[in-house]
Every structure is written in structure tokens, then in C-alpha cells.
Amino acid sequence: MESKRYHITVAGRVQGVGYRYFARDVAQSLGLSGWVRNLRGGDVELEVEGAQEDVDRLVEKLREGPPLSRVTDVGISPMVAVGAASEFYIRR
């Protein structure tokens, strides 16, 4: 199956509510690789790579977020797949 890579930004109340840990856990459960981090402006940023259907599932979950979050926007931009290792981590 062809691997796809995306840059994703999530806006709303997504910092201080466990959003990075939520995103990491969902991505790991789907076998995706990449990373997630907080941005200074209050958004959360991800780079994710894997099968298109798994990335789509992740995006669905990112739109929902963990219980205390309020997602107002999810921006998705395609990137060139690099065949990254199957690790998804929180980046500082």
C-alpha cells in the first residue's frame, strides 16, 4: 500500500487539554509515523505518514479531539512521503 505524508495544523482550544497525547495515542494505534507538537500561537502541528485510510481515520479523530478540547479548524497539506520509521512521537 502506498504511503502518504501530510502536514496538519489543528486550531482551537488544543493546548493544555492533553491534545498532543491524544493525537500520539491515536496515531500509534493506527500504525502511523510522524510527530506532533504545540506551536507558540496556540495551535498544534503534526506531520504524519502512513496508509491513506489510516491518515483519514486520524484526521477524523483530530477533528473530535479529547474531551476538554474544542477544535475549530484542521488544515491539511500533502507532503512528499519519505518512508519514515514506524514511530509517532511528541516533539518539543
Q: Assess whether 20 carries a catalytic annotation.
A: yes
Long-range contacts of 60-63 (CB under 8 A, 24+ apart): 61/22, 61/23, 61/26, 62/8, 62/10, 62/23, 62/26
Active-site residue among 20, 24, 40, 92? Answer: 20
Active-site residue among 38, 40, 63, 92? Answer: 38
Q: Assess whether 92 carries a catalytic annotation.
A: no
Residues labelled catalytic: 20, 38
